[in-house]
Amino acid sequence: MTELSPLDAVHRSLGAKMALFGGWDMPIAYPSGTIAEHLACRHDAAVFDVSHLGTVRVSGPGAFERLQTTLTNDLGKIAPGSAQYTHLLDEHDASVTDDIIVWWIDEQIFDVMPNATNTERVIAAIGGSKTTAERAILAVQGPRARARLDGVVPDAAAVGRFRVASVEWNGVPLTVAGTGYTGEDGVEIAVPAKAAPSLWAAIVDAGVTPAGLGARDTLRLEAGLPLHGHELGAGITPLQAGLGWVVSWTKGPFRGREALDAERQRGIKRRLRGISTEGRRPARDGCTVFASDATPIGIVTSGNYSPVLNHGIALAFVDPASALGDAVSIEVRGTALAGTIVKTPFVSKR
């Protein structure tokens, strides 16, 4: 059964192009188009409906210990009122079952935010209750996101990076986190489903551009952020993805630790790298990457045209011996696309 966002009617009234995403019918772009929406987020502010993301409420006296002994990062490094990026690993091969943001709302209350298709797997691992249907989540992102949001919900605009707060808007309770997936500053707001259309309208009326998941994907790619099912997922570990910082080796046991430690000891066989390509034509997921001597060295996981850089960019798993500055080529439908291995993010937050 296809899931619908609480904002579904709003998107359709705006003429959004809708498509299935993780089992949800979601807006991919509005009539202005993905590039215009992308640039609005980079230069001003954009609002995204990300209600397709899961929310799992984990609470009670054992909540902290349950998360601490299951997920990779160390909740002991933060405190209530904070958010943390973390991974849930497969216990057998340490591949990333899901990458997750944890909102630590109160002493014994956590909202765990899995990817759309992984909610049930996350619940099976950590317990808790699914509260996805009770709320919408609006991501307000961009260098002017806070300034524009300040005229709508000042307390939400004031929530700092990776902080979490409960605020009110016209008597409606909101949970706000200083998180996002665009490489820009901003916040994500959980709002009760019935109030979501009104809050969306108020944010748009403040000059924030509606943006679809197409722009969200090109933005996260410019920022060098991984997408589950591409840079993370079955057979891919945090170490291969260059996300070793998400793993705490000092906090004690967690799911998948032994398998991940074994990989750490023997060394990774591939590494995620950024590739800058010449011209506007992008590489795509599944394209083969070749070294300068025509030896195949890897596979593209995500590729697209960068609206900011005006050329193609890609993420790829390649031989770990490959270095920054190496010339490569990518086979795209029988032709070779010239590229260079570069440091990510491709576009830095300003």
Q: What's the pLDDT tens digit per position in 65-76?
A: 999 999 999 999
- Each residue's pLDDT tens digit, 271-294: 999 999 999 999 999 999 999 999
Task: Give the chain's mean pLDDT.
Answer: 97
Q: What is the pTM of this model?
A: 0.97
Buried b / exposed e along 199-215 (16+ C-beta atoms within 10 A): bbebbbebebbbbbbbb
Residue ranges of the chain assigned to CATH 3.30.70.1400: 56-123
Q: What is the mean pLDDT of residues 238-263?
A: 98
Pick the CATH number of 3-54+132-222 from 3.30.1360.120, 3.10.20.600, 1.10.10.10, 3.30.70.580: 3.30.1360.120
Q: How many CB atoms lie within 10 A of CB 82?
A: 18
Q: Quick one: what percent of the chain has pLDDT higher than 70?
A: 99
Average pLDDT over residues 246-254: 97
* CATH 3.40.190.10 is held by the domain 56-123: no
Give backbone dihedrals phi and psi of 232, rounded to 5 degrees, phi first: -135, 150
Confidence of residue 22 (pLDDT cuts 50, 70, 90): confident
> CATH 3.30.1360.120 spans which residues of the chain?
3-54+132-222
pLDDT band at 350 (very low <50, low <70, confident <90, very high): low
52, 76 contact by CB (below 8 A): no
Q: Are 80 and 166 in contact (CB under 8 A)?
A: no
Q: For CA atoms 116, 122, 123, 128, give the dihedral sign.
A: negative
Q: Please enumerate in sequence order all residues whose Cβ is within 8 A of that of 113, keeping only pairs 6 or more positions apart, or say none.
A: 53, 54, 55, 56, 100, 101, 102, 103
Lowest mean pLDDT of 25-39, 316-330, 336-350, name the range.
Answer: 336-350
Which of 243, 330, 334, 244 lies closest to 289 in space, CA to CA? 330
Contact 150, 134 (CB under 8 A): no
Report which of 250, 149, 155, 162 is spatially closest to residue 200, judged by C-alpha positions.
Answer: 149
- How big is the CA angle at 224 (ends 135 and 142), to the nearest 5 degrees? 55
Residue 87: closest CA among 75, 100, 76, 77: 100
